[in-house]
């Protein structure tokens, strides 16, 4: 049979189906494009032609700040509360949208474009739902349009994130809120912290307060996920974290911002304030130092930590450690948008590792730096080798910019580490973006942008090879383009890492039961893996579980949530690591002659002996 032809063997009466060559397919595409062009030209005949321009948004001016309320949402409630405080500390009126739900999703479908990804429906719909709620409480549409603006992130693409702004506008227009303003915090401009809107100013104080708010939310989420599954009194972590949120939000909202008058002696303050340049630079540097090393942040975190410290934990519960990754919205939201997956996993007996927003910020920084490095002699002309001074100048310029990116990374890492230390020291460090790019590179190009880019693949490998999770669950929205690409690659990844338990779940407005049952099945495997690991580790210590339990009962510090249990390289579970540690503590207190006795050996003990 000709390679280019194929007989329809299942139907002997049908004419043979002929597969087209590539050139024929190209010609066919071109023919259809031309046909469509002719159709559109005929349709618009006689009408003036105009190039499409992005609609010019009615500006949100500084004069409106006192009467216009900024709406935002789409993160976890902790992040949202804290960011609201950052807005309030800068003098803005702000309201939070409730967690996106299925009712909002349906509204998004009703008023938005067809064929969007799932987060677009959820996000546009839950904005419309809120605006309709305001209307039902008696506000006219004009009042809503005049007195509210929506603040969101955006990007130039390449995935549908680039269309969010347009989608919001279309959906609010279709829902009848003509002229409702959508303010954008560009993904690409995010690094430069520019909004282009005069009413919304990203000063040093506001920017650093917002970063602190994000970091507080990230670390608090992380810490609570480590404590909650082991709490002795059910519900205590949630109660404590609610109280802490009140305190941390108040600390951000009521923060006393740096001012020369408050910190310098009057004679020096007068001199600094007399010179505009000296005033601006002193204020900028002073504010940065105050946010990075000032006492106010430490005090707020200490108060929060003290409340959490009272929770009693039992780390001997054997639980599979599940790392949740995926697309930004799906892995962050805490409601219908991801089938309430975090609550479900914990109910099913898992300990979860959530993804901090800070990793995404670090990814943006890393990407900007790596792009700049990669395009070294593309974005600037390479001077000839003999023009040494020009070459040196170009090199200096290049290195300067690389240095700025490096400073940005170091600065953000410092901010994040400070919050980890302040909230008990058990939060996870940010991931090394260079390592992630290296791990993903054989499967997914590091510059294939959009959504989480190579991160979904990289994190799956990272948590498996470093034994930092028993299972990786990737939450990817229905219709997500970058996640679909990652999924295609993940089968190759799973073939190379045979002991990997990886489950991709497509989130949508429906299908929760199906998704939960698939997770349950994979979780069953992860539970078995965690139990086996625990048994092997326990055997390697040569001790009985009852003895370990008795030792823990006698040492209350081991039941404190912020007690730092060392992580043994190669051992994943919290309970397994805890047993190894308690066993070591018990050995330290054994009489010398007992310590000299030969001990049970096993691969686990060997691992423990050479611990990281």
* SS3 (DSSP) at 548: helix
| Residue of 326, 342, 324 lying closest to 487 (CA atoms) | 326
- Closer to ligand SF4 by CB, 118 or 195: give it: 118
- Closer to ligand SF4 by CB, 159 or 420: give it: 159
- Closer to ligand SF4 by CB, 160 or 319: give it: 160
Output the smallest distance, CB 481 to ligand SF4, in A: 4
Examine residue 295 and say whether the peptide bond preceding it is cis (omega within 30 degrees of 0): no
| Residue of 80, 11, 116 lying closest to 509 (CA atoms) | 116
Output the smallest distance, CB 167 to ligand SF4, in A: 10
Residue where the block lists tokens 């469509």:
36
161-167 contacts: CB < 8 A, separation 24 or more?
Answer: 161/187, 161/450, 161/451, 163/116, 163/120, 164/120, 164/123, 166/54, 167/112, 167/113, 167/116, 167/120, 167/124
Output the smallest distance, CB 451 to ligand SF4, in A: 3
Residue whose CB is nearest to ligand SF4 in the complex, by number: 451
Helices and strands per DSSP (H, E), number in the chain: 25, 10
- Closer to ligand SF4 by CB, 229 or 477: give it: 477
- Closer to ligand SF4 by CB, 118 or 221: give it: 118
- Sign of the torsion formed by the C-alpha atoms of 127, 133, 136 and 138: negative
Output the smallest distance, CB 332 to ligand SF4, in A: 11
298-302 contacts: CB < 8 A, separation 24 or more?
Answer: 298/422, 299/251, 300/247, 300/248, 300/251, 300/252, 300/422, 301/216, 301/248, 301/419, 301/422, 301/423, 302/422
Output the smallest distance, CB 162 to ligand SF4, in A: 8
Can you point out the beta strands (E) in 348-432?
A: 351-353
Q: Which residues pair with 152 in a beta bridge?
A: 184
- Closer to ligand SF4 by CB, 152 or 483: give it: 483
- Closer to ligand SF4 by CB, 149 or 455: give it: 455
| Joined tokens for residue 421 | 């230390």
Give the Cα separation of 71 and 571 in Å (integer): 45
- Closer to ligand SF4 by CB, 123 or 552: give it: 123
Output the smallest distance, CB 450 to ligand SF4, in A: 6
Give Dmax over CA atoms of the chain in angstroms: 101
Whether 124 contacts 109, CB under 8 Å: no
- Closer to ligand SF4 by CB, 159 or 225: give it: 159
Measured CA angle at 283 (ends 277, 285), to 5 deg? 100
Output the smallest distance, CB 448 to ligand SF4, in A: 12
| Residue of 600, 560, 569, 570 lying closest to 583 (CA atoms) | 600
How are beta strands 471-477 and 502-507 bridged, if at all? parallel
* 536 class by beta-carbon count within 10 Å (0-12 exposed, 13-18 middle, 19+ buried): middle
Residues that bind ligand SF4 (CB under 6 A): 117, 119, 159-161, 327, 329, 450-451, 477, 480-483
Output the smallest distance, CB 168 to ligand SF4, in A: 12
Output the smallest distance, CB 166 to ligand SF4, in A: 13
Whether 518 contacts 505, CB under 8 Å: yes
Output the smallest distance, CB 486 to ligand SF4, in A: 10
DSSP 423: T
Output the smallest distance, CB 163 to ligand SF4, in A: 8
- Closer to ligand SF4 by CB, 327 or 355: give it: 327
Q: Which residues pair with 559 in a beta bridge?
A: none
Instruction: Determine how many CB atoms are found less than 10 A away from the CB of residue 236.
Output: 18
- Closer to ligand SF4 by CB, 286 or 477: give it: 477
| Residue of 70, 63, 72, 126 lying closest to 94 (CA atoms) | 70
- Closer to ligand SF4 by CB, 333 or 574: give it: 333
Output the smallest distance, CB 329 to ligand SF4, in A: 6
Output the smallest distance, CB 227 to ligand SF4, in A: 30
Output the smallest distance, CB 165 to ligand SF4, in A: 12
- Closer to ligand SF4 by CB, 152 or 540: give it: 152
- Closer to ligand SF4 by CB, 423 or 436: give it: 436
Measured CA angle at 515 (ends 511, 516), to 5 deg? 120
| Residue of 286, 289, 302 lying closest to 415 (CA atoms) | 289
DSSP per-residue codes, 132-192: HHHHHTT--HHHHHHHEEEEEEE---SSGGGGHHHHHHHHHHHTT-TT-EEEEEETTGGGG
């Amino acid at each position: 049979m000709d390679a280019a032809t194929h007989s329809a063997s299942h139907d002997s009466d049908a004419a043979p189906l002929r597969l087209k060559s590539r050139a024929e397919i190209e010609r066919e595409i071109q023919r259809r494009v031309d046909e469509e062009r002719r159709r559109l030209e005929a349709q618009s005949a006689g009408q003036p032609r105009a190039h499409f321009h992005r609609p010019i948004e009615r500006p949100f001016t500084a004069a409106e700040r006192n009467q216009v309320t900024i709406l935002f949402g789409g993160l976890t409630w902790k992040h949202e509360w804290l960011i609201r405080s950052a807005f309030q500390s800068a003098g803005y009126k702000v309201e939070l949208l409730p967690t996106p739900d299925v009712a909002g999703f349906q509204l998004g479908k009703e008023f938005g474009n067809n064929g969007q990804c799932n987060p677009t429906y959820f996000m546009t719909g839950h904005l419309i739902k809120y605006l309709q709620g305001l209307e039902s409480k008696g506000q006219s549409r004009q009042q809503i349009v005049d007195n509210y603006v929506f603040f969101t992130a955006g990007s130039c693409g390449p995935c549908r994130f680039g269309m969010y702004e347009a989608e919001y506008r279309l959906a609010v227009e279709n829902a009848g809120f003509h002229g409702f303003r959508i303010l954008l915090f560009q993904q690409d401009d995010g690094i430069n912290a520019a909004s282009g809107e005069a009413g919304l100013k990203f000063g040093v104080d506001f920017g650093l307060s917002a970063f602190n708010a994000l970091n507080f939310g990230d670390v608090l989420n992380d810490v609570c996920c480590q404590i909650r599954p082991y709490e002795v009194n059910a519900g205590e972590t949630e109660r404590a974290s609610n109280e802490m949120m009140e305190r941390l939000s108040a600390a951000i909202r009521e923060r006393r911002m740096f001012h020369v008058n408050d910190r310098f002696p009057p004679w020096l303050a007068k001199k600094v304030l007399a010179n505009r340049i000296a005033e601006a630079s002193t204020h900028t540097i002073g504010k940065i130092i105050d946010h990075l090393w000032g006492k106010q942040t430490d005090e707020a975190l200490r108060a929060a930590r003290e409340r959490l410290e009272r929770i009693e934990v039992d780390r001997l519960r054997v639980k599979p450690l599940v790392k949740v990754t995926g697309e930004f919205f799906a892995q962050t939201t805490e409601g219908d948008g991801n089938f309430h997956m975090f609550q479900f996993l914990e109910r099913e007996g898992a300990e979860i590792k959530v993804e901090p927003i800070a990793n995404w910020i670090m990814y943006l920084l890393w990407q900007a730096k790596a792009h700049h490095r990669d395009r070294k002699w593309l974005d600037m002309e390479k001077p000839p080798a003999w023009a040494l001074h020009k070459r040196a100048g170009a090199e200096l310029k290049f290195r300067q910019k690389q240095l700025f990116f490096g400073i940005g990374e170091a600065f953000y890492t410092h901010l994040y580490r400070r919050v980890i230390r302040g909230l008990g020291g058990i939060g996870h460090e940010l991931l090394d973006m260079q390592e992630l790019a290296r791990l993903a590179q054989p499967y997914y190009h590091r510059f294939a942008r959009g959504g989480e880019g190579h991160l979904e693949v990289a994190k799956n490998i990272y948590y498996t090879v470093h034994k930092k999770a028993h299972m990786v669950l990737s939450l990817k929205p229905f219709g997500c383009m970058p996640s679909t690409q990652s999924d295609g690659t993940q089968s190759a990844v799973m073939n190379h890492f045979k002991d990997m338990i990886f489950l991709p779940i497509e989130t949508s407005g429906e299908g929760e039961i199906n998704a939960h049952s698939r997770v349950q099945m994979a979780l069953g495997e992860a539970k078995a893996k965690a139990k086996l690991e625990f048994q092997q580790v326990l055997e390697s210590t040569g001790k009985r579980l009852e003895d370990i339990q008795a030792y823990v009962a006698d040492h209350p510090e081991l039941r404190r949530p912020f007690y730092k249990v060392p992580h043994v390289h190669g051992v994943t579970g919290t309970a397994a690591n805890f047993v190894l540690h308690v066993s070591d503590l018990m050995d330290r207190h054994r009489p010398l002659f007992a310590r000299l006795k030969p001990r049970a050996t096993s691969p686990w003990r060997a691992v423990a002996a050479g611990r990281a």
